[in-house]
Amino acid sequence: MTAYQKLVVYYFSGTGNSENVAKWMADIAIEKGMEVSLINIAKTERRHIESPKPDALIAFISPIHGFNYPPVMLNFLFHFPKGWNKVLLLNTRAGMLIGEWITPGLTGIAFYFSAFILKLKGYSIQSMFPVDLPSNWISVHPGLNERTVKYLHERNQEKVYRFARKVLSGGSDFRGLYEIIQDTLVAPISLGYFFMGRFLFAKTYYASSDCDNCDLCIKSCPVKAIKNVDNRPFWTFNCESCMRCMSNCPKRAIETGHGSVLVVGLLSSLFISGLFYSFFRQWFFEIEGTFLGFILKSALFLGILAVWYRIMHFAMRFKFVERIIVYTSLTKYKFWGRRYKALKNTGK
């Protein structure tokens, strides 16, 4: 028995986790005889969104980036037309495995902020449901092994099926609210990532000499954040670190420049501290530790990072520079750099 005739799922997916959740939802909807539409928002015109049918149940599914939905999903929600439909909010976040225990990720402000936007537009929130699928962020942690990836997929597929049967029959599930304390604690990190962290990560990606200019990363980037500069892929500040490019590169040529980031971080810290003391000495101590001080230092750092990244990108045409960048990247090494792709949805 189903309480709805149609399910419309809007999703954003980098390496396939959220896309799999969307397909798992569709499996159960089809089982119940519902009409299903799966809409990849990376392939839609996000400023002119068609209004959903009044009788449709709507779901939004997105990964968590920096304890929030990524800007591409937030932008989509801001431009989403007003309506009165019931809404399911789901996210995929960084799941890990210790023995047989799945360690949960953190949602942060994603559910609360998106629910607030949608409530203002007239929608009714029916569920907030997190899904702890494998983390793909090998920029900050070692890649997960095959056993872990397979186990997390199997367990979460069952979990999503149970959720779908419940909500498509008219029930609700606000499991995401169980973690409100943890989510509140990481809220400041959400803001820091949105206003600075995501731009920092955008300038950590380099293509090694293994790159054969197939342009797959440029063509498949869901936010068009990569372009060709000096005959080499170049990551702009629009990058959302979804990891699709790194995971899909057939030559495994894309690396995270950990050594480069460490060097520019140390140099910029010394430069910014010296600049503040030299030019803002009379009022430096008044803004040190304040929000204004943080904004000024962050802006200076991002400016330095952009210049540094452009210089390093140019310098990588020289083999010895390219080798230094590559061999100081943890993603180069087998113990860390397992590329991740979500397992293909095999259905029920």
pLDDT in the model for residue 47: 74
Above pLDDT 90, what percent of the chain? 79
pLDDT in the model for residue 169: 93
pLDDT confidence bin for 48, thresholds 50/70/90 = confident
Q: DSSP letter string over 217-285? A: HHHH-TT--EEEETTEEEE-TT-----HHHHH-TT--EEE-HHHHHHHHHHHHHHHHHHHHHHSHHHHH
SS3 of 60, please?
A: strand
Q: Quick one: average pLDDT of 220-236?
A: 96
Query: How does pLDDT run across 145-186, given as a tens digit for each residue?
Result: 999 999 999 999 999 999 999 999 999 999 999 999 999 999
* CB contact at 8 A, 59 and 10: yes
Q: Quick one: average pLDDT of 113-131?
A: 97
Residue whose entry in the numeric block shows the structure tokens 């928002």: 41
Query: How does pLDDT run across 292-318, given as a tens digit for each residue?
Result: 777 888 888 999 999 999 999 999 999
Structural domain boundaries of the chain? 6-189, 191-332
pLDDT in the model for residue 3: 75
pLDDT in the model for residue 79: 94
Minimum mean pLDDT range among 13-17, 115-119, 167-171, 269-273:
269-273
Reply yes or no on whether the pLDDT at 274 is more than 80.
no
Which of the pair, 121 or 348, is modelled with greater confidence?
A: 121
What does the alpha-carbon distance between residue 133 and residue 92 come to, in Å, rounded to a whole number?
6
CA within 13 Å, CB half, 277: 6
pLDDT in the model for residue 276: 63
CATH architecture for the domain at 6-189: 3-Layer(aba) Sandwich (3.40)
* CATH fold match for the domains 6-189 and 191-332: no
- Per CATH, which fold does 191-332 belong to? Alpha-Beta Plaits (3.30.70)
pLDDT in the model for residue 346: 65
Reply yes or no on whether the pLDDT at 62 is more than 90.
yes
